[in-house]
Amino acid sequence: MALVRRAVLADAAGIAAAHVASWESTYGDILPEAFLAARSESVRLAFWTDILAENEPAVFVFVACLEDGSVCGFASGGAGELYSLYLLDSAQGRGLGRRLAEAVLEALGGRALVWVLEENPARGFYEHLGGMRVAEKQVDMGGEIFTEVAYDLGARCRV
């Protein structure tokens, strides 16, 4: 059975690999190619190493690990927001996304806002959890304008 636990510095490489692979599979047909290429594994490794090394008590990072200990997904949050939740395609459909969301929401006191690209098919995941669409904004990603949608993962959420 896969395990969800608080991330440690040694998880940075696994998180970076899952982050890049998830972005490519989720956003490959949505975001500009140059934008995605700039999010290389080495760039993500530096980012996650910094986050985990700082050990900031207000930022929470959790990982989902397979039976062999390899990272297959992660979620992060802080300041009332679920910043990120990504799973490798091969790890989806096992309840790990729900467990990662639950871990971050619990760490944040049971409520969070999550921003998701409107074109992201994972929006359905947050809707299935009971997230309420509460706002939207325009963002520039690689020189193109996209709409991000905010979901309130609060009391109605089924995590």
Q: In this model, does residue 155 exceed pLDDT 80?
A: no
**Between 155 and 154, residue with greater pLDDT:** 154
Whole-angstrom distance, CA of residue 18 vs CA of residue 11: 11
Per the domain annotation, does 79 fall within a domain? Answer: yes
Mean pLDDT rounded to a whole number for the chain: 93
159 within some domain:
no
The verdict on residue 139 lying in a domain is: yes
What's the pTM?
0.93
In a domain, 63, yes or no: yes
Order of strands across the sheet that contains 81-87: 3-6, 59-65, 71-78, 81-87, 112-117, 144-153, 132-141
Structural domain count, the chain: 1
| pLDDT in the model for residue 41 | 94
**What is the average pLDDT across 113-121?**
95
Please check whether residue 115 lies inside any domain of the structure.
yes
pLDDT at 37 over 80: yes
Instruction: Answer yes or no: is 158 within a domain.
Output: no
Report the CATH number at residue 8. Answer: 3.40.630.30
Range of the domain at 38: 3-153
